[in-house]
Amino acid sequence: MNNETINNSQFTIHNYKIILFLLISWSVFITVACAANNTPSPSTLSSGAPVVVSTSMPTPLSSAPSPPSSAPSPLFERIVNLGVPVGNGATPRHLALNSAVGLVYILTEGLPILQQGNGLSVYDIKAGEFITHTKINSGSPTPLDLQFDPAAGLLYALAQPAYDLPPALAVIDAKTLHVTQEISGVIAIAAANGLLYTATPDKLTTWAAESGRLTERGHADLFPASITGPLAVNPITRRFYLTRAADMAWSIEIFEIVKPGTLTWINSYPTPNNVLTIQPNPATGEVFVVEQTDQDRLLQRLNPDGFPLGQPYRLGPAYNANGLALSPDGQELFFGNGELRPTDPAPGDAAGPALVGLTASDLSPRRRIPLLTNFDDITMDAQTNRVFAVYPYDDLLYVINLADNTTQVIHTVIEIRDALVDEDTGQLFVSDSSQRVRRLDGDTLAVLAERQLDLTAATLHSFDYTFGAGELALDKTRRRLYASGQPAYVFNAGTLTPVAVITTSGQFAPDPDRDRVYLSNCGVTI
């Protein structure tokens, strides 16, 4: 969190002075300050969990240290977190599932400009909320992969510290989320049954997990390659798959796992295309390979030894979507179609981002569930019959219920967009990046009312991107709250019920005395 104060607005509420530190784009805290000779601080607020839609109390943080007694500045009474209660997980990149305990792990990139480092956010499926967020490194590494091995109880997070440095593997205890070991130079990984396979440009290594750490069990030297990975393993068929590329000639090398640490090469599957994903099907022994051409993503089925089964299936455009998930029973494949939403769709036009399900045996379509965006990674939980997917650029976690094909959108980051004091009532209005407006008690900061906008393609960025988006203005006479954005909203100031939606968008400036409201159109026209 960047704690540099960008804008301070000071207001008087009863006997308080409330200073709102609005950190441009990344603010999640409200700091309450009172004069040094003011009344004692109220008791600590009870914690809550306002992840996406919540009427619970904001989560209090520890009070900031008091300034020296000689300092004229006010004493901080408390700092209240109005973001994700356990901490914002910016730029979610990769997913891993611990189905036995109902947890989804998310590897986040953080904000490189702030040198936040990568983090792990933990989502509790049953509770429907984030329960932990922790930092696992520093700087601005690029996350490359996240895998969980139930047999080892370990998470494996692969990230590249800088473009000119080799990737590094972090071995993480899944219970404590502590990094127990780091291995440099690893390019690609595959975990299964207490073993981890790692590849470098010239070596393939097998590791055994023991007491929360990895011990080498064996390695094989490889001919140097310009590209290594992805990897995959099928313990049931005892097959290991290694992707290699040299001089733009791609291939998947297939090995038999003779015993842990001993691999015997049996075949090579050549392809002219980039290999993005390898997904073995333990139920049938088949292997699904996602390849990328200049224009398309293709799905190729292989038998366990790497021989093609039928013709490739087109998944969608070459870019815009990543990830492939297989139901644990091996019956259904899930992927993103990679389509972009039309800027001016015709009535009834169903084009746009969607989750697609295929029957694994013959690749026939089974379902298509529209989404607000595409996604970068995906996993499927058979216990709850849900698919989880992340989209990094809007900090979104999709929770998709396959029983009724419904989707819940959860923000991994919630940032304050604006805060406005109503001097007449002593209350506080706050807007945030989850497209939500709340009315808080000025003394206790208890949530008195809130309004979560229905998330659609039109409202996903209501309080983002547009000039002045999320800024609030109040008409005290008519008790109207104006929220600038795309679209712009007018709310009843008491209930926060929307009374008008202005699709032309822009930044509000009400003039109650003249019975007018001005709206700038993206800061260009009025």
pTM of the model: 0.84
Contacts of 268 (CB under 8 A, 6+ apart): 251, 252, 253, 254, 306
- Mean pLDDT, all residues of the chain: 85
| Least confident span in 65-69, 323-327, 503-507 | 65-69
Q: Which residue has the higher pLDDT, 344 or 70?
A: 344
Structural element, H or E, at residue 323: none
| Least confident span in 16-25, 71-80, 110-119, 454-463 | 16-25
What is residue 231's predicted lDDT score, i.e. its pLDDT? 98
What is residue 29's predicted lDDT score, i.e. its pLDDT? 67
pLDDT in tens, 29-57: 666 654 444 433 333 333 333 333 333 34
Residue 263 has pLDDT above 80, yes or no: yes
What is residue 38's predicted lDDT score, i.e. its pLDDT? 41
Domains along the chain with CATH numbers? 320-342+351-413 (2.40.10.500)
Burial string for 241-251 (b: 16+ CB within 10 Å, else e) reads bbbbbeeeebb
- The residue with tokens 């939500």 is 436
What is residue 45's predicted lDDT score, i.e. its pLDDT? 30
CB 383 within 8 A of CB 104: no
Tokens for 473? 């203005």
Residue 116 has pLDDT above 50, yes or no: yes
Residue 395 has pLDDT above 90, yes or no: yes
Tokens for 203? 């070596």
Contacts of 420 (CB under 8 A, 6+ apart): 428, 429, 430, 472, 473, 474
pLDDT in tens, 52-73: 333 334 444 443 444 455 555 5
What phi, psi does 107 have (nearest 5°)?
A: -90, 115
What is residue 514's predicted lDDT score, i.e. its pLDDT? 84
Distance, CA of 326 to CA of 358 (rounded, Å): 10
Q: Percentage of residues in the chain with pLDDT exceeding 90?
A: 66
Q: How far is CA 139 from the centre of its chain?
A: 19
pLDDT in tens, 428-443: 999 999 999 999 999 8
Tokens for 13? 């509420």
Residue 283 has pLDDT above 50, yes or no: yes
| Least confident span in 43-57, 103-117, 363-377, 444-458 | 43-57
**In the structure, what pLDDT confidence band is assigned to residue 77 with cuts at 50, 70 and 90?**
confident
Interval 76-88 mean pLDDT: 86
- Rounded to the nearest 10°, the torsion over CA 341, 346, 347, 351 is -30
Distance, CA of 114 to CA of 139 (rounded, Å): 8
pLDDT in tens, 84-94: 999 999 999 99
Residue 148 has pLDDT above 70, yes or no: yes
Distance between start and end Cα atoms, the chain:
35
**In the structure, what pLDDT confidence band is assigned to residue 20 with cuts at 50, 70 and 90?**
very low
pLDDT in tens, 475-502: 998 999 999 888 889 999 999 999 998 8
Number of residues in the chain: 526
**In the structure, what pLDDT confidence band is assigned to residue 285 with cuts at 50, 70 and 90?**
very high
